[in-house]
Amino acid sequence: MNRANGQTSLGWWRRPASREAAFFYLCVSPWIVGFILFTAGPMLASILISLTSWDFISSPTYVGLSNYQAMLNDELFFKSLKVTTTYTLLSVPLGLAGGLLIALLMNQNLKGITIFRTIYYLPSVIAGVAVALLWQWIFNPNYGMINGILGLVGIDGPKWIYTEDWVIPAFVIMSLWGVGASMIIYLAALQSVPTELYEAAALDGAGAARRFQSITLPMISPVIFFNLIIGIINSFQIFTSVYIMTQGGPNNGSLFFVLYIYRHAFQYFNIGYASALAWVLFIVIMLFTLFIFRFSKAWVYYEGAAR
Amino acid sequence: MSEKNLELNLLTSARRAPQPRSAFLSRKTLLEILRQLILYIILIAGALPFLFPLIFMLSTSLKSKGEVLLVPIRWIPSQIIWGNYYEAMFGYLPLYWFMLNTLKVVLGSLVGDVLVCALVGYAFARLRAPGRDILFIIVLSTMMLPGQVVLVPTYILFRYLHLLNSLWSLILPNLLAGGAFFIFLFRQFFQTINPELGDAAKIDGCGLFGVFWRIYLPLSTPVLATVAIFSFFWNWNNFLWPLILIDAQDKFVLAVGLKLFQGAHTTEFPLLMAASVIALLPCLLLFFSAQKYFIQGVVVSGVKG
């Protein structure tokens, strides 16, 4: 397994299989070091830190599970769970349906369709702070784009990210702007559905709606499933846009979970509590994912079953 | 448009049923034209919400400070002020400096994401060794781990290594093959290469590393391009990690620099939008010049993942 052994017994070293194995471990050694340093080690440390009370400066004191117990009495913890879940339950289904709808449009064979594909896809390519700055400006109640356009048709738009009632819908709208990413994945799936299936169904007299329901949906269900999982994982981890646009406000109405972790870790220096919160996030995401996996067998169709 | 042209267009548009070569505009062709017309109207109407924010950004970035406060919105600035870009780039809080830092991180990470991950992916795809499959399952499972779980310990680790406030803290994890997704992409791609090519090279005297370097890598331009593009985008946009790991203003990357810029120019919307355009431009250019590889990556991750 390691080189030193091989060099002491020449016979062992000369065998090609052993040399190949040694070379394998040489190749993956950067990953192994990185895994220990940046994943396994920190994970273990994170569990231990979550059992302490610590502020980075004084030495940590062991407090058992009290960080986890403290969450039960933490109103903001529940608020951030509610905010994040509400956002997820709104943005993920809307994104799934919207992405599929656009992909169906993009699957039409029209002249110049590739230009439209690029336009719809473009916003999902860009991300990060610059996009958050843009949307903060778009949601500006007085001079922003949305209320400017609403004003043209006589609607007095809401204050969007500056009022608790509208801040979550505002983030949902912003997330829908990036629906192109899932659209592209749907499109690839739609184009890989064999045309014979549609031809056969058409011969049997199935209409467009029936063909969609009985052929398209089952054939692309694995991709819907994939987009669902990715969508949930991403929306639970939203941070950059919230940090830039609202800092969790107004009245903690956009206190997304990762922002809450960040506050405890790097603003209040409650390192133990922040670590415990991070593990709760991990568990919540895992539970959601497991739940979906559990119920996926009923509606996800894999061609040829074993994959 | 001549009749023949029209027919040709329709022929190329019809995906399944070939058009009957009937007389001038049969009922079926009329319906097809109507269908296409409706589709185009839907497509154009739908494209507006996707385009408007970008146009709004561009138009704001070229306006004067007063003109952005006019109601209704003037989409075309009465006077185009290129100076906004100059001020964002070289004025108070110069973005070019943050951009240089970002470039260092992006290029350093690129080496790790492209070369190191390729080597690791190759090992998982083509080398036989005890424990290989278990290790690969671990690689896959690290993709599921939310980064927040290791946020605090990683911060402590870098403080211990005296790498806080160093751009190396952002590069090092990538040099150590931190991009599990890239390892996965490389492995999947290398598995589609015929192993006999490597065997033949070995018989011709190619060493173990030579097979990877001379045979597999040159055959992998599509996946190399995809990984390079993804790596660029992720590291260019990365915000949470540099926010935590880097405190010194002269070491700020663009993402964190933009946050600082926002604080300094809260209501100077033309400047903020010029800064946003500057930050997004490299990504947009890269996207347009390598759209094929970009979409390939998205699709592979979706359909095969």
Query: In order of start, what are the domains of chain A with their CATH numbers?
Result: 3-49 (no CATH), 69-296 (1.10.3720.10)
Instruction: List the single residue in A42, A130, A261 with the smallest CB-CB distance to B157.
Output: A42
* In chain B, residues 67-86 whose CB comes closer than 8 Å to chain A: 68-69, 71-73
pLDDT of residue B144: 80
Q: What is the mean pLDDT of chain A?
A: 89
pLDDT of residue B302: 58
User: Does the pLDDT value for residue B291 go beyond 50?
Assistant: yes
Reported as a pLDDT band with limits 50, 70 and 90, residue B145 is confident
Shortest Cα distance from A185 to chain B (angstroms)?
Answer: 5
A287 contact partners, CB below 8 Å, separation of at least 6: none
pLDDT of residue B7: 34
A146 contacts in chain B (CB < 8 Å): none
pLDDT of residue B83: 92
pLDDT of residue A245: 95
The CATH superfamily holding the domain B88-303 is MetI-like (1.10.3720.10)
Instruction: List the single residue in A38, A122, A180 with the smallest CB-CB distance to B173.
Output: A38
Instruction: List the single residue in A23, A119, A289 with the smallest CB-CB distance to B127.
Output: A23
Query: Is A127 near chain B, with CB under 8 Å?
Result: yes
Reported as a pLDDT band with limits 50, 70 and 90, residue B16 is very low
Per-residue pLDDT of B81-118, as tens digits, reads 999 999 999 988 889 999 999 999 999 999 999 999 99
Closest residue in chain B to residue A238, using alpha carbons only: B240
What DSSP letter does each residue of chain B carry, written as one string?
--HHHHHHHHHHH--SSPPP--STT-HHHHHHHHHHHHHHHHHHHHHHHHHHHHHHHHHHHTS-TTGGG-SS--SS-SS--THHHHHHHHSSS-HHHHHHHHHHHHHHHHIIIIIIHHHHHHHHHH---TTHHHHHHHHHHHTTS-GGGGHHHHHHHHHHTT-TTSTHHHHHHHHTT--HHHHHHHHHHHTTS-HHHHHHHHHTT--HHHIIIIIIGGGGHHHHHHHHHHHHHHHHH--HHHHHH---GGG--HHHHHHHHHHHTTT-HHHHHHHHHHHHHHHHHHHHHTHHHHHHHHHHHHHT-
User: Does the pLDDT value for residue B198 go beyond 70?
Assistant: yes
Residue pair A51/B162 in contact (Cβ under 8 Å)? The answer is: no
| Cβ <8 Å between B283 and A125 | yes
Reported as a pLDDT band with limits 50, 70 and 90, residue B175 is very high
Reported as a pLDDT band with limits 50, 70 and 90, residue B8 is very low
Reported as a pLDDT band with limits 50, 70 and 90, residue B147 is confident
* In chain B, residues 149-208 whose CB comes closer than 8 Å to chain A: 149-157, 173, 175-178, 183, 208
User: Does the pLDDT value for residue B39 go beyond 80?
Assistant: yes
Per-residue pLDDT of A57-107, as tens digits, reads 888 899 999 999 999 999 999 999 999 999 999 999 999 999 999 999 998
| Cβ <8 Å between A31 and B148 | no
Reported as a pLDDT band with limits 50, 70 and 90, residue B24 is low
Query: Is B9 near chain A, with CB under 8 Å?
Result: yes
B96 or B266: which leads in pLDDT? B96
Looking at residue A61, the DSSP 8-state letter turns out to be E
pLDDT of residue B45: 94
Angle among Cα A31, A34, A40 to the nearest 5 degrees reads 110
**Segment B190-203 mean pLDDT:** 88
pLDDT of residue A298: 80
Reported as a pLDDT band with limits 50, 70 and 90, residue B20 is low
Query: Is A47 near chain B, with CB under 8 Å?
Result: no
| Cβ <8 Å between B71 and A143 | yes
Interface confidence, given as ipTM, is: 0.87
* In chain A, residues 252-291 whose CB comes closer than 8 Å to chain B: 258, 261-262, 265-266, 271, 274-275, 278-279, 281-282, 285, 289
Percent of chain B predicted with pLDDT > 70: 90
Instruction: List the single residue in A130, A265, A285 with the smallest CB-CB distance to B152.
Output: A265
pLDDT of residue B23: 56
Q: List the structure tokens of A120.
A: 């719809």
Cα Rg of chain A (Å, integer): 25
pLDDT of residue A119: 92
Below-50 pLDDT ranges, chain A: 1-8, 305-307
Instruction: List the single residue in A34, A223, A240 with the smallest CB-CB distance to B303.
Output: A223
Q: What is the dihedral of CA A129, A130, A132, A138, to 10 degrees?
A: 170
